[in-house]
Amino acid sequence: MKDRGYVQVYTGNGKGKTTAAIGLAIRAAGAGYKVLFAQFVKGQPYSEHKALERFKEITVKQFGRKEFIHSKPSEEDIRKAKEGYEFVFSALKSGEFDVVIMDEANIAVFFKLFSDDDLIKLIEIKPKNTELVITGRYATEKLMERADLVTEMKEVKHYFQKGVLAREGIEK
């Protein structure tokens, strides 16, 4: 097993944050690592779930409703995010997973479902050899300062602006 796990943040307005995290999850599974892929503010099925199910080393959990949050979060949004946070907290404390991915956790913070201080607490309690990956737009300065690696996806051009909706197998 690796002797040191780092904290990675994938943020920015460009496409590819979740996709990068999925790539890391598959690479880690290929190395025999046990991976938790926890998705926040997402409750609908995505094509990546079918792919990730093929890896016995990857556990996928969703903590969101079928509808995405566009303005004020509902009580159910808040409850599901807190449930997810507690699940990840327990998973980190247990040391059961080598890699823990919190997909869209930055969006959960943006919508005040939990705080960036809560994310910092996870960094503080994670086992030394566990890799923690946090994705989503709007990563806070405090989180980026604490991370070991920050990648910003920058949107230069996107076909969504021409009316192309999310396509199965590509964006969903």
What pTM was computed for the model? Answer: 0.92
pLDDT bucket at 62, cuts 50 / 70 / 90: very high
> pLDDT per residue over 32-58, tens digit each?
999 999 999 987 778 888 899 999 999
Give the domain range for residue 27: 7-162
What are the residues whose beta carbons fall under 8 Å from the beta carbon of 74, sequence distance 6 or more?
65
- The neighbouring-strand residues paired with 8 are 133, 149
Residue 87 forms part of a structural domain: yes
- Give the closest residue to 78 by CA, choosing from 47, 113, 45, 111: 113
What CATH number has the domain bearing residue 12? 3.40.50.300
Residue 53 forms part of a structural domain: yes
Residue 86 forms part of a structural domain: yes
> pLDDT per residue over 68-94, tens digit each?
667 788 899 999 999 999 999 999 999
Residue 37 forms part of a structural domain: yes
Residue 167 forms part of a structural domain: no
Stretch (H or E) spanning 159: none
> pLDDT per residue over 128-165, tens digit each?
999 999 999 999 999 999 999 999 999 888 887 788 88
| Distance of alpha carbon 43 from alpha carbon 131, whole angstroms | 24
> What would the DSSP string read from start to end of 52-75?
HTT-TTEEEEEES-SSPP-SSPPH
Tell me what pLDDT residue 140 has.
98
Report how many domains make up the chain: 1
Token readout for 116 is 């960036």
CB-CB contact of 9 with 148 (8 Å): no
| Strand 7-11 to 58-63 pairing | unpaired
Residue 169 forms part of a structural domain: no
Residue 119 forms part of a structural domain: yes
Residue 129 forms part of a structural domain: yes
| Distance of alpha carbon 145 from alpha carbon 101, whole angstroms | 18
> What would the DSSP string read from start to end of 102-123?
EETHHHHHHTTSS-HHHHHHHH
Tell me what pLDDT residue 40 has.
95
